[in-house]
Structures are given as C-alpha cells and as structure tokens.
Amino acid sequence: MSENERETVIDPESVRLLNDYAETEAEAAPAAEAQPELSTRALATLFCSLYVGVFLCALDGTVIVTLMAHISSEFHEFRSVSWIASAYLISLATFQPLYGKISDIYGRRAMLLFSNGAFAVGCVMCGMAPNIWFLVFARVIAGIGGGGLNSLTVITMSDLVPLRQRGLLQGFGSLLYNTGAAVGGVFGGLLTEWLGWRWAFYIQVPFVVVSALAVWYNLKPKPYNEIETSRLKRIDFAGSLSLVSFLSVFLLALSLGGSYVPWSHPIIFVLFPLSFALLAVFVHIETKVAVEPVLPLSLLKDRTVLGSSFTNAFVMMACYSHLFYVPIYFVAVRGISATAAGSKIIPNFIGTGIGAIATGSYMKMTGKYYRVMLTGSVLMFVGACLVSTYGLDTPSVLQILYLFVPGIGLGALITSTLIALIASVPHEFQAVTTSIQYGFRGTGSTIGVSMASAIFQNVLSAKLWERLGDLPNAADIITLVQDSVEEVTVLPEAYRPLVIQSYLDACHGVFLFAAVLSFLIIVFCSIMKEHPLNTTLRR
C-alpha cells in the first residue's frame, strides 16, 4: 500500500460497532461529505464563539492552583485540598465521552448551552462554599459543564473543518486554551489578594453568559424533526457509572493511604480491590453489554488509537503533576507569594502555545505528524528531567527554561495526537474517537493529580518525621505545615530550614514521577502510524 493510502486496521468487532454507530448517525444528520465547508469569516466567527468557553474551562482548571494554599489555610484541610482538583477532573473524565452521543440526539448547540449553564452554576456554588467538601461538590458541577465545553468544541470543529486544516485550528485552539490556563494562576492570585479567593469563581460567570450567547447566535440549532429521544437508550449510562465509581474509589484509596491512615490499614486493603473490581465491571460493560460504549475499548486494538489514547493519559498525568506542584515548590521552598508562584508557571504555557501553533502549521504544510509528535515527546521528557533538578537556589533563568521546554513538547503532543487519532478512522467515526481521547485525557488528569498528591504527602510526612521527630512540639509543627503550606514562612528559625528541605524532597518525588510518565509518552508515541491528512471533508 502506498504512503498516501490510509491503513486502518480495526478488528471485525470494532467494524461492527462502528457500522452500527454510522447507521444511527445517518438517520439524524447528512453525511459529512455533503456538508458545505464554511467560509473563512464564518469559520473564524464560530471558532471564537466556541473557544470562549474553552478559554474559561482552562482558566477554571488552573485558577485553583494559586487558590489551593489560601483555601487549605481557611479550611485547615491541606491534606484534602487535592480533592478540589480531583472532583473537577473526575467530572471531566466521566461526562466528556457522553457529550458526543447526547449532542447527536439534541444537537451541538443545545448541549453547548447546557454545558455553559452547568459551568456557571458550579462557579457560583464554588464562591458560596462554606467548607471544603461543599467546594468539592461544586467543582463536580463545574466539571460537568467544563467537560462539554472541551469535547463539544473539538467535535463541532471536526464536523466542519477538513482534517489537514484542522491541525492548524487545533494549534490555535491550544494557544487559546493555554492562554486561559496561563492567565488562571495570576488571575486567581490577584483576585485573592484584592477581593478574596471566592471572587475568582464569581467573576467567571459573566464571561460564561457571553460564551453562551455567542454559541446561541453563531451555531445553528438541530432541527426538531431530527430528534429521537428513544435513542437515549443507546447512551451508555452503566458504563459511565462504573467508570466514575472506579475512579472515585481508586482516588479515595490514594488520597487516604499514607496521609490519613497507614498503607497497611484495612480500609486500604478494601478500597483497592474494590476499585479494580469496578474496573473489571466497566470493561465487561464496554466490551459485552453496551450497544454504544462510552469508551469503545475494542477500538484500542488499532495501534494508533491505542498509542494516542495512552499518550494523552500520560501527558495529562505529567502535565497536572507539574501544574499543581511547581507552584507549591515556589511557595514553600522559594518563599514567594501564591500570586508570584502562579506567574512562574507562565513560561510553560507560552511554550505550549508555541509548540501547538508550530505543530499545526507543520501538519498543514506537510500533511504529516509522526516526526513532530516524536520530537514533542522527547522535549517533554527532557523538560521533565530538568524540572526534577529544581533546588533551593536554582537561578530564575533556569526556572523559566526548565518549564518552557516541556511546554513546547506538551503543545506538540496535544495537537498532533488528536489529529493522529482522528486520521486513523473514517470521518463518520470522529465523535467516537474524540470521545475516547478525551476520556483518556480526563482519566489521566484525575489519576495524575491524585497519584502526585499521594507521593507528595507520603514523602513530606516521612521527611518531616525524619528531620523533626526528636525536636520539641514536633507533632504539632508537622500537623501545622501539612495542613497549610503558608505556615512554612512563619515557622521559628529552628524548624524552617528542615521543613523547607522536606517540602523540596516531596516536590522532587512528584517531579521524578512526571519524568517517568514522560518516558512512557515516548514509548506510546513510537507505536503509532502515519496516516494522510486530507484537505477536504470527504475522506
């Protein structure tokens, strides 16, 4: 087969699944090949309308980074603060795959409006939170909306834009996403200092309303005569429930182990086997029961789908490990404010934007993605290794460079792997494969934050007891600095250097974990194949 011919190798069961899915889609909408391509002006207008929501979703994901220290100090729950991020990411992981199928029934616009509404309600509830667990619940609501803003934007653009052009647009989308992510940290820190951390959530609501109005005005609704509510029966609610149950129990075990109870505690021996049992139930439902699985696992037999999916999971695990613990390094070890710590991670986002645009441009010009994808994986690994060398006196120039390098790799990977995944299957299966990747991204983000938190808390606890155990009031000091990172800066001089070194060791544990994940990214990138990137919607 020539280099310009696509080689899509999918097992017979996957073909049956995809054919069944295509038949149901044919009843609801015209074939992709029959859809007219948009003019540049119309495409730009729609693109901006959709990515207002994506920008806000990214901002909300990182605004919590600089708020964590303030929130944990107010509620005195630093050991549980990772659940604020995990709750949001669990919602993303669970609901992103559902939006593709539900929007096939009710239309992209209706579900985008629902997503904006859920996101706004979640932000209001976050601002009103009286305690950390109400805040965790509010983040779940916001995550339900954020999942739709993320996945539906990608699915809608893929409906309307040829794959080769899609690479460049994905690059611009990644730039906007990372602009929101970069602004989030500084934005949250400044608002916290001026008005309090709650306003970092309240102030997002007007922008969500603007996003919803823009989508309502610029995106055509699905005709009512095409709606078939009976197709709700085809939505894989059982698979979604088993997935969120597995994640919740698994993450609870990671959060409790070594922080609240010893790893040898009976509850840990119950939670881990239960989580794997739930995972087995999920796999059984997806492979044997579900008519249209929320994550069609049979498609993972294709090596490009498999490689892209696991690459994205490991990318998000490594990315969020850095995103949440590099600021902790700057606050606890370098002694700077939370706002300044938020600004310190901006070089990573700048690198991500540059990597995304450069990768999108390369794919548009050449129609290739494999080499630039491998290059991105190597850059991310090198950058992760550099970040793991952060010390007590690392110069500012090196701090910037060490975050910039993995940012370039991240931008290249999130742009190229999505295009590789979509290119590996026919056009009508884009929504299914996009759901797969976003499912792996969300799951990777969730597990990454929780595993990083478990590593951090366990190393920190061990090092604190090792260094402070024989000193007066050791138990009180250790409890104090574990519950609030801001307490490090006001400790007595006899304790402060020992606590700072313990925090540094804990950060190193997380950064080395990210480096190992980055190596696995290289492995899974290498197993993918090159597929042609078509210049028209007809593939």
Q: What secondary structure, in 3-state letters, does 299-364 show?
A: HHHCHHHHHHHHHHHHHHHHHHHHHHHHHHHHHHHCCCCHHHHHHHCHHHHHHHHHHHHHHHHHHH
Give, in order, the Cα–Cα distances in Å from 12 to each of 16, 84, 539: 6, 42, 21
Dmax over CA atoms of the chain, in Å, equals: 76
Residue 34 or residue 436, greater confidence:
436
Q: What is the pLDDT of residue 26?
A: 42
Q: Give 9-23 pLDDT, tens digit per residue.
A: 444 444 444 444 444
Q: What is the pLDDT of residue 22?
A: 44
| DSSP helix/strand/coil, 257 | strand
C-beta of residue 132 within 8 angstroms of C-beta of residue 71? yes
Q: What is the pLDDT of residue 263?
A: 77
Confidence of residue 509 (pLDDT cuts 50, 70, 90): very high
> With the CA atoms of 509, 524, 356 and 408 taken in that order, what torsion angle do they form, in degrees rounded to the nearest 10?
40
Q: What is the pLDDT of residue 28?
A: 40
Given a cut of 50, whether residue 338 has pLDDT beyond it is: yes
Residue 363 or residue 72, greater confidence:
363
Q: What is the pLDDT of residue 18?
A: 45
Confidence of residue 516 (pLDDT cuts 50, 70, 90): very high
Q: What is the pLDDT of residue 370?
A: 92
Confidence of residue 27 (pLDDT cuts 50, 70, 90): very low
Confidence of residue 183 (pLDDT cuts 50, 70, 90): confident
* Residue 32, both tokens: 């992709």
**167: Cα within 13 Å, side-chain hemisphere:** 31
- In angstroms and rounded to an integer, the radius of gyration of the C-alpha atoms of the chain is 23
Q: What is the pLDDT of residue 230?
A: 58
Confidence of residue 89 (pLDDT cuts 50, 70, 90): confident
Q: What is the pLDDT of residue 17?
A: 45
Main-chain phi, psi angles of 221, to 5 degrees: -75, 160
Q: What is the pLDDT of residue 310?
A: 92
Question: Any residues with CB less than 8 A from the CB of 49 and at least 6 apart, and which?
Answer: 211, 214, 215, 217, 218, 219
Amino acid type, 158: S
Question: Sign of the C-alpha dihedral, residues 474, 476, 477, 479?
Answer: positive
The mean per-residue pLDDT over the stretch 422-446 comes to: 76
Identify the weakest region by mean pLDDT among 150-164, 216-230, 311-325: 216-230
C-beta of residue 92 within 8 angstroms of C-beta of residue 150? yes
Identify the weakest region by mean pLDDT among 49-58, 65-74, 402-411: 65-74
Q: What is the pLDDT of residue 90?
A: 73
Beta bridge mates, 407: none
DSSP structure string for 402-417: HHHHHHHHHHHHHHHH
Q: What is the pLDDT of residue 539?
A: 57
Mean per-residue pLDDT over the chain, rounded: 79
Question: CB 193: neighbour CB atoms within 10 A?
Answer: 14
Question: CB 424: neighbour CB atoms within 10 A?
Answer: 26
The mean per-residue pLDDT over the stretch 439-449 comes to: 79
Confidence of residue 25 (pLDDT cuts 50, 70, 90): very low
Q: Give 287-309 pLDDT, tens digit per residue.
A: 888 877 777 777 778 889 889 98
Given a cut of 70, whether residue 142 has pLDDT beyond it is: yes
Confidence of residue 79 (pLDDT cuts 50, 70, 90): low
Residue 282 or residue 169, greater confidence:
282
Given a cut of 80, whether residue 522 has pLDDT beyond it is: yes
Q: Give 1-10 pLDDT, tens digit per residue.
A: 444 444 444 4
* Residue 223, both tokens: 């005709």
C-beta of residue 458 within 8 angstroms of C-beta of residue 258? yes
The mean per-residue pLDDT over the stretch 439-457 comes to: 82
Question: Any residues with CB less than 8 A from the CB of 130 and at least 6 apart, and which?
Answer: none
Confidence of residue 536 (pLDDT cuts 50, 70, 90): low
**CB-based burial label for 12 (10 Å; 0-12, 13-18, 19+):** exposed
| DSSP helix/strand/coil, 261 | strand
The mean per-residue pLDDT over the stretch 322-330 comes to: 87
**Exposure string over 152-186, b if 16+ CB within 10 A, otherwise e:** bbbbbbbebbbbbbbbbbbbbbbbbbbbbbbbbbb
**Exposure string over 131-145, b if 16+ CB within 10 A, otherwise e:** ebeebbebbbbbbbb
Q: Give 226-279 pLDDT, tens digit per residue.
A: 445 555 666 778 887 887 788 778 867 876 776 567 778 899 999 999 999 999
Terminal Cα distance for the chain, rounded: 17
Q: Give 462-502 pLDDT, tens digit per residue.
A: 898 888 877 777 777 887 777 667 777 777 777 888 888 99
Question: Sign of the C-alpha dihedral, residues 465, 453, 272, 520?
Answer: negative
